[in-house]
Structure 1
């Protein structure tokens, strides 16, 4: 299920490393609703089957701060499991109109929550656009290495997909996945004080329609529950 959540900031400014603030928002909202649910989601290192993106009306960026044109921003949230989506909806409703601190300098209020219509996938090929940057992470003993959607990055992304979904979908279907960059561009984002390279744009994906639906509902890359790798259907 997909939701559009309207948020009102106290100050029209966010740090460049703003995603960590919104992870804190999620933890705060969910813990106030159900501490056991918060612990189940955030004390395990397993991938979470939800993703989100933010629409920020940016005016300018200066000295690692983002200055906004408006106090109002929008959070787009997509959750695969119906029961988990209902828990998230109730959690955000419970925190509606309450002041929630994002950082020592700023707070936010949840003003409105709207359920969005999901699109049905019936074919085995779809074109998607990124609603948040796609993160491709290669985990090594020494450090994490982040890749773009070039030939090597696509193979690493496929390896990650197979590893994460091998118990859910037939291996034959996972091995047949094709990811085709169409109009993409590189950018660099700040995440927990680390600069990582990511990919924005449009991509085509050939896969079983159930796998495509999973990508649509959960995102396709790494750090999906941290505000990355969210997709929307173009056609």
Structure 2
């Protein structure tokens, strides 16, 4: 299920590190409407079966901030989990009409929350547009450091599949490992970008790609995001 949340700012400037502000909105709404689910999702490092992207209308991206001349932006939220969808719909709806501190002296008001029909695929191959950058992260447990790969790196696909296997085994069981190994990821028009998220610069991938694999896997990625850190607004892909 997808949600479209339309928002209005009180002035034109917001931080380039805006994803943390969107997560703040989500946490605020969910903590007020379903505190137990809020604790379940955010009290530990749990897989987030959702993703989001943000569309800024009439925006100019600068080094440290974004100038949004229209003062409007849209949060596109997606999940394949019906229970989560209902709870986040209620969370966003509970904030509707409020002036909420957002970025610096700026405030945000949600003025419309709507459901959007989800695009499903019965095919083994889809061409997808990356609506929010794909994160491929390798975590070293000993040093507790992360390394981020983009499609240009030789280890991108192997690390990405390792991430996906770790995420999806608890959901689909051991059989998913072979299906992920057989997944084909092809570059249509991908490119490297760097984004600021929670004060860290992360290398990631945007553009278009082809995914070929079992339909249940392809649909899972279309619903919940593709790659790591989807709960922070990464990995949203849309069939085109």
TM-score for both structures, normalised by structure 1? 0.95
In the alignment, what sits opposite 1:216?
222
TM-score for both structures, normalised by structure 2? 0.93
SS of residue in 2 equivalent to 1:212: helix
Quick one: which of 155, 174, 187 aligns to 1:152? 155
In the alignment, what sits opposite 1:188?
194
Within a 5 Å distance, the mapping from 1:75-86 to structure 2 comes to: 75-86=75-86
Q: 1:112 to 1:214 in 2, by over 3 A?
A: same
Contact residue 133 and residue 228 of structure 1 kept, 8 A:
yes
Cα RMSD (Å): 1.4
Unaligned runs of 5+ in 2: none
Contact residue 58 and residue 66 of structure 1 kept, 8 A:
no
SS of residue in 2 equivalent to 1:108: strand
Q: 1:61 to 1:164 in 2, by over 3 A?
A: closer
Q: Establish whether residue 44 from structure 1 lines up as the match of residue 44 from structure 2.
A: yes
Paired positions, count: 234
Within a 5 Å distance, the mapping from 1:133-172 to structure 2 comes to: 133-140=133-140, 141-142=142-143, 143-150=145-152, 151-167=154-170, 168-169=172-173, 170=175, 171-172=177-178
Within a 5 Å distance, the mapping from 1:1-235 to structure 2 comes to: 1-140=1-140, 141-142=142-143, 143-150=145-152, 151-167=154-170, 168-169=172-173, 170=175, 171-234=177-240
